[in-house]
Amino acid sequence: DVVDIRTFSKTGMFTFDPGFLATAACESKITFIDGDLGQLYYRGYPIEQLAEHSDYLESCYLLLNGELPTAQQKSDFDYMVLRHTMLHDQIHNFFRGFRRDAHPMAVMVGVVGALSAFYHDSLDINDPHHREVSAFRLIAKVPTIAAQAYRYSKGLPFSYPKAGLSYAENFLHMMFSTPVAEYKVNPVLAKALDRIFILHADHEQNASTSTVRLAGSSGANPFACIAAGIACLWGPSHGGANEAVLKMLDEIGSVENVPAFMEGVKNKTHKLMGFGHRVYKNMDPRAKIMKQTCDEVLNELGLHNDPKFKLAMELEKIALEDPYFIERKLYPNVDFYSGIVLSAIGIPVAMFTPIFALARTVGWIAHWTEMIADPGMKIGRPRQLYTGAQRRDYVQVDARR
């Protein structure tokens, strides 16, 4: 049942809903999740079909425009993304201002926010053309920024995007090619990475998307809003979970240590990272696809006996049979297996969340655009239940006890 609180608010009533467990903050036509059935749709298309048949940039077009592109629209869109992939040369100075050991998410928050100092035309958010150009700039430049953050941390020279490569291939090329050795892209790995991008492209009003909407509702520019989304995504309860899963698998070490670890989970000493979801009370459909992708990648690389994959499968098996997890409807989420895939591809752990951020950029910008284009948009302004001190009179400092 949906209660439209706008009618109540005129009478002075408001709801108290910490964590937004039961409050919709907007209408949206972009993504639908059926949490009870474990289903996810982008613009009405099941995620399984997109993961199987689409590619990331086509899914981006769909999320932004509401329909799948024709062949001509697809090639124009791909071209527009490619032509915006370069960074202004002065942006490289921002990277140089960071310590080499900075987390790449810290670098991304700063550098993506700094784009607003370079593209003044994008600040005119009321012009649909400028909003579209901002979307291209962000989708195109965020992977370049992520790759440069990695290269800077390694002391490698900045790299440049290359024409003729897919979005995922280009990212791998920017990460790993050097002036003396071109990275040879394995098509199975590039496909797996592209699938990770599709699966992370949007997920309706999660914490980071809601952050982007809230920031954007004040009229803030798109680069500032996406930087806010990246900051929110970084947390281990959200996008940082993929990194946390791999660290957890390392800490557990081997299958024999699983029972003791599970006891700790039940005693609430630690969480089983990569498990649980606010909306899914059934298996996250992205986790199923990710598990299959994991299997494909490990087979391709001859790593089918990979101990981390075995350990992850054991944890999943135990959790799915254990009353603690069954009662709380805790199932693996997308990030339970994505870290294993990314590791197998050769992506360092610190880059897992930046990869999530670059894939989610399209979802953030699609929601930001939908909100700005809505003539009924209002600034986001949550209410509060005040529980602090009652009115009292100021006391001079020498009279205080």
Nearer to ligand ACO, 91 or 201 (CB): 201
Residue with tokens 């032509």: 83
Q: How far apart are CA 206 and CA 56, in angstroms?
A: 20
Nearer to ligand ACO, 91 or 341 (CB): 341
CA separation (Å) from 16 to 36, 65, 269, 383? 24, 35, 29, 8
Return the residue of 215, 227, 265, 298 that touches ligand ACO, per CB under 6 A.
265
Q: How far apart are CA 314 and CA 88, in angstroms?
A: 47
Q: Does position 352 bind ligand ACO by CB under 6 A? A: no
Nearer to ligand ACO, 41 or 183 (CB): 41
Residue with tokens 């090329």: 173
Report in angstroms how near the CB of residue 196 gets to ligand ACO at its nearest: 11
Report in angstroms how near the CB of residue 47 gets to ligand ACO at its nearest: 13
Beta-bridge partner residues of 275:
332
Return the residue of 38, 110, 276, 354 that touches ligand ACO, per CB under 6 A.
276
For residues 241 and 274, the answer to whether their CB atoms sit within 8 Å is yes
Nearer to ligand ACO, 77 or 337 (CB): 337
For residue 372, the SS3 value is helix
Q: Does position 330 bind ligand ACO by CB under 6 A? A: yes
Q: Does position 277 bind ligand ACO by CB under 6 A? A: yes
CA separation (Å) from 153 to 17, 169, 287, 301, 350? 41, 21, 30, 27, 10
Identified catalytic residue from 78, 202, 284, 335: 335
Number of residues that bind ligand ACO (CB under 6 A): 18
Query: What is the bridge-based pairing of β-strands 39-42 and 31-34?
Result: antiparallel
Report in angstroms how near the CB of residue 123 gets to ligand ACO at its nearest: 30
Q: Does position 172 bind ligand ACO by CB under 6 A? A: no
Distance of CA 201 to the CA centre of its chain: 7
Q: How far apart are CA 52 and CA 99, in angstroms?
A: 40
289 Cβ contact list (under 8 Å, min separation 6): 47, 48, 51, 195, 199
Return the residue of 111, 249, 273, 298 that touches ligand ACO, per CB under 6 A.
273
Q: Does position 278 bind ligand ACO by CB under 6 A? A: yes
Residue with tokens 């089918």: 304
Active site residue 277: yes
Site for ligand ACO in 69-98 (CB under 6 A): none
Nearer to ligand ACO, 74 or 278 (CB): 278
Identified catalytic residue from 84, 173, 277, 367: 277
The burial class, CB within 10 Å (0-12 / 13-18 / 19+), for 176 is: buried
Return the residue of 38, 113, 274, 354 that touches ligand ACO, per CB under 6 A.
274
Provide the token pair at 114: 């700094």
Q: How many CB atoms lie within 10 A of CB 238?
A: 17
Nearer to ligand ACO, 235 or 348 (CB): 235
Q: Does position 145 bind ligand ACO by CB under 6 A? A: no
Q: Does position 247 bind ligand ACO by CB under 6 A? A: no
Nearer to ligand ACO, 78 or 335 (CB): 335
For residues 338 and 115, the answer to whether their CB atoms sit within 8 Å is no
Q: Does position 281 bind ligand ACO by CB under 6 A? A: no
Return the residue of 55, 58, 78, 335 that touches ligand ACO, per CB under 6 A.
335
Catalytic residues: 277, 335
Residue numbers at the binding site for ligand ACO (CB under 6 A): 237-239, 241, 265, 271-278, 328, 330, 333-335
